[in-house]
Structure 1
Amino acid sequence: MDKFSGQKRAGAMLYPPIDPFDQRMLDVGDGHQIYVEQCGNPKGAPVVVLHGGPGGGCSPAMRRYFDPEVWRVILFDQRGCGRSRPHASTENNTTWHLVADIERIRAALDIDRWAVFGGSWGATLALVYAETHPEAAAFLALRGVFLATQRELDWFYGGGASQFWPDQWARFSKLVPEAERGDMIAAYNRRLFSGDVKQETRYARAWAAWENSLASVESDGNPGETPADYARAFARLENHYFVNKGFLEADGQILRDLHKIDHVPGVIVQGRYDMICPPKSAHDLASGWRSGRLHMVRAAGHALSEPGISFELVRVMRLVGQNRGTYGL
């Protein structure tokens, strides 16, 4: 029997849990050390997994989207989050630092070309990385596309998503004086970087709760309280990147530079009812990317753990693994 399961529960669709065969801290300079792990087949087709956020960190569940007999799976915590150090630090922490870190990992592990797997902010980073190093990207698997545009930030922090989740938006916005609510990202930035850890943690938890409430189509709007350390890293890093517009040189840069990856094959897996990263971005990406294909998942939201999303991602990576020679993996 194939190890892949077509059952409708997300966990049943994944491969069994596995442990890493390699774990290390990689000094990437600038005062940062990042956590890197490898699991699966040491001689398998390499794939690097880019987590979301920024600031989300990688998790053991992310290992389970790949057949461990076929894939050599590389996960890492981006600067400032997870097991990387210093924790919650935004110093020397930009998109371009992360792109350079990915290349450092590839060189350290002696990998020529690899598949790149990322969702949400991880999809943003995957696209920027591939457009910067198209020779290294053999295949892109993207989920819940975020293009780091002002339109997307306005949707989520400027009132668009609040039309669907007014109760959660009220909780998120009430912590900010009414006079500052015209720019919620800036208002939260002042509090997330106030220097008062207690205040930073309070606002970090509110920032994380707003996003977590909207992640799944099955959400009841009550995600529970996020652990303080995780919330502070997640919120500070995400806000830092959003205040700086993803550190891109122009709004719409990713779509502008798609011609650089026209030859790189890939698949976009997008939830039809994604409230965090609405499907327009995935559609725009697919429309301009000659080698990219869009899979719109019915009755799914944003989260990696959505059953329909998990089903498609496992299916895609199984097919790529079966045809890895075609992709030069």
Structure 2
Amino acid sequence: MTLVLLSGLYSDSPPRRTHAIPVPHGHVLHVEESGDPAGLCALVLHGGPGSGSSPLLRRFFDPARFRVISVDQRGAGRSRPRGATAHNCTSDLLEDLRIVREQLGLPRWLVAGGSWGATLALAYAGFEPQAVVALLLRSVFLPRAEEIEAFFQDTAGRGPTAWTRFAAVAPADQRHDMLGFLARSLQQAPSSDDPDQHRRLALAWWRWELTLAGGAAAPATGIEPDRETLDALVDRYRVQSHYLLHRCWLDAPPLLDRLGTLPQVPTLLLHSRDDRVCRPEGAQAVHERIAHSQLRWVDGAGHDPAHPAMASAMVMALDSYALHGRFARAC
């Protein structure tokens, strides 16, 4: 058995295989395979939308037991064109996952996702229920108007000083609609008078997001993105604002109303009660709509997937599934 490091995560190793998979409308998905080719197949869905996959996400999985498929969604990570919002909505992503599954010859897989990735996992389980053997949902996000407004407008009073710094990138008469301002600005070319506008917006968004995320992701070190990283953040937030402006196309009907028809497979939600990015009320609401689901609170982790408590909970859940075909109930 592969040893787990003291951090609670499995050691990282380079992907075993990479794929460039063409999908409709000129998009090309970057897909990585890690772990044992004969292991239990698991699809990993990154957050954002627009964030791209990270080596961290595959380190929850024992590489001696799992074949891990990491997909950079349209416009994200190393998929091309990066930052593109044309022909990029949730229904496109669902169809893309079907294409990836069929191209790789995979009849079924465990689906794991965090934040937006957990949301997409729920939508995918409704789209291809026959292909899903289990769902592991970390810090699930509900794309409801009140959730989105709470993030961008600080309606809960979570950090007025930090929010004021965030909002200062917008003209005073547009600060009541930060998402709309950011979405419009990131879609338009910067003016010649302010060529670095996109980078300034991305830096402000990044700082605000990390302030809310807490845990190990909190920007306490003072280390900030370099120019190359900022350019990647611009593309990420362009895609993310595009999705959030449309409530991720999951509001007609609302995502919660779609959950009663999900497959009866092992389903575990992991969430922290101090998550200020994806509020715990959302996880509770999802749990109540999926009768066969489990909900475990991982307190103190905020919205940080690398927090030791959350990392440990993810590893334990996946180890349990690999051994028993289910997520063992908490003691």
Please give the TM-score of this superposition, normalised by the length of structure 2: 0.91
2:172 aligned to 178, 181, 195, which one?
Answer: 178
Residue number among 4, 18, 21 corresponding to 1:23 in the alignment: 18
Give the drift of 1:2: 7.3
CA drift at 1:239: 0.3
* Segment drifting more, 219-228 vs 43-52: 219-228
Equivalent position of 1:79 in the other structure: 74
CA distance in 2, matches of 1:309, 1:317: 12
Once the two structures are superposed, the pairs formed by residues 76-225 of structure 1 within 5 Å of their partners are 76-161=71-156, 163-196=157-190, 198-217=196-215, 219=218, 224-225=223-224
* SS of the residue 1:30 aligns to: helix
Shift of 1:324: 3.5
| Alpha-carbon separation, structure 2, partners of 1:223 and 1:132 | 42
Distance 1:278 1:147 in 2: 9
- The equivalent residue for 1:240 is 242
The separation in 1 between residues aligned to 2:76 and 2:302, in whole angstroms, is: 25
Q: What is the CA–CA distance in structure 2 between the aligned matches of 1:111 and 1:40, rounded to whole Å? A: 15
Per the TM alignment, residue 212 of structure 1 is displaced from its structure 2 partner at its CA by 2.1
**Residues of 2 paired with 1:325 and 1:288: CA distance?**
20
Deviation at 1:198, TM superposition (A): 2.8
Aligned-pair identity in percent equals 36
Residue aligned with 1:43, SS: coil
Root-mean-square deviation over aligned CA pairs: 1.9
Structure 1 residue 250 corresponds to structure 2 residue 256: no
Q: Is the 8 A contact 1:262 1:289 kept in 2?
A: no
Amino acid corresponding to residue 206 of structure 2 in structure 1: A
- In structure 2, do the counterparts of structure 1 residues 298 and 24 end up closer, same or farther at CA, with 3 Å as the change threshold? same
Structure 1 unaligned blocks of 5 or more = none
For 2:178, give the aligned amino acid: M
Instruction: Pick closer, same or farther for the CA change 1:281–1:245 going to 2, 3 Å.
Output: same
Q: 8 Å contact 1:134–1:264 — kept in the other structure?
A: no
Deviation sequence 1:216-252 (CA, Å, 0-9, x none): 235256764332222111110110001111112426x
For the 8 Å contact 1:286–1:292, the answer to whether it is kept is: yes
Say if 1:44 and 1:70, in contact at 8 Å, map to a contact too.
yes
Q: In 1, distance between residues paired with 2:91 and 2:97?
A: 10
TM, length-normalised to structure 1: 0.92
Shift of 1:158: 2.3
How many residues end up aligned between the 2 structures? Answer: 319
Confirm or deny: 8 A CA contact 1:194 1:200 kept in the other structure: no
Task: Map Cα deviations across residues 83-140 of structure 1 (whole Å, 9 max, x no partner).
Answer: 1111111111101111111111100111111000100000110011111111111100
Which whole-Å CA distance do the structure 1 matches of 2:83 and 2:322 have between them?
35
1:255-278: CA deviation from partner (whole Å, max 9, x where unpaired) = 101111151221101011001011
The amino acid that maps onto 1:56 is: S
8 Å Cα contact 1:189-1:239 kept in structure 2 = yes
CA contact (8 A) 1:51 1:58 kept: yes
Q: Give the deviation of 1:37 after TM superposition.
A: 0.7
SS at match of 1:73: strand
Match of 2:232 in 1: 230
